[in-house]
Amino acid sequence: MIPWTALSDYVEALLYQTTIDSLERPDYIGYMVDHINSKFEHELKRLEKRVDALVSVCDQLQDENCSLKQRQDLLTNERAGLLQKNEQVRARVEAMVGRLKAMEQGS
């Protein structure tokens, strides 16, 4: 047989648990919901900040990429111009050498 005090304590604990889980204690449930919502909002804001930072980095990288492509085009055109000038100078030097050899042989 269960002593009366133990049975009484058990019933009281059972009633207390039922009260906590029921709508009779909305302050407890409300606190838990608010606490969970607060944690969720905090995590959501933290994630939002990280996404904003990532978007900012992507924008910066996109601008830098565009700048680098423009610089590469400029340098490619400059290189092509220098190669063309180099070929012209080479042809003029070869022509001079040819004339010098012709003059040397004619003397």
pTM for the predicted model, two decimal places: 0.52
Share of the chain above pLDDT 70, in %: 68
Determine the Cα–Cα distance for residues 9 and 16; give it in Å rounded to an integer: 10
At residue 64, the pLDDT reads 98
Joined together, the tokens standing for residue 21 give 């889980």
Residue the block writes with tokens 């990429």: 65
Residue the block writes with tokens 């040397």: 104
pLDDT, tens digit, for every residue of 50-97?
Answer: 999 999 999 999 999 999 999 999 999 999 999 999 999 999 999 999
pLDDT, tens digit, for every residue of 7-58?
Answer: 566 656 655 555 555 555 556 566 666 777 888 889 999 999 999 999 999 9
Determine the Cα–Cα distance for residues 12 and 19; give it in Å rounded to an integer: 10
CA distances from 95 to 7, 11, 83, 102, 105 (A): 119, 115, 18, 10, 15
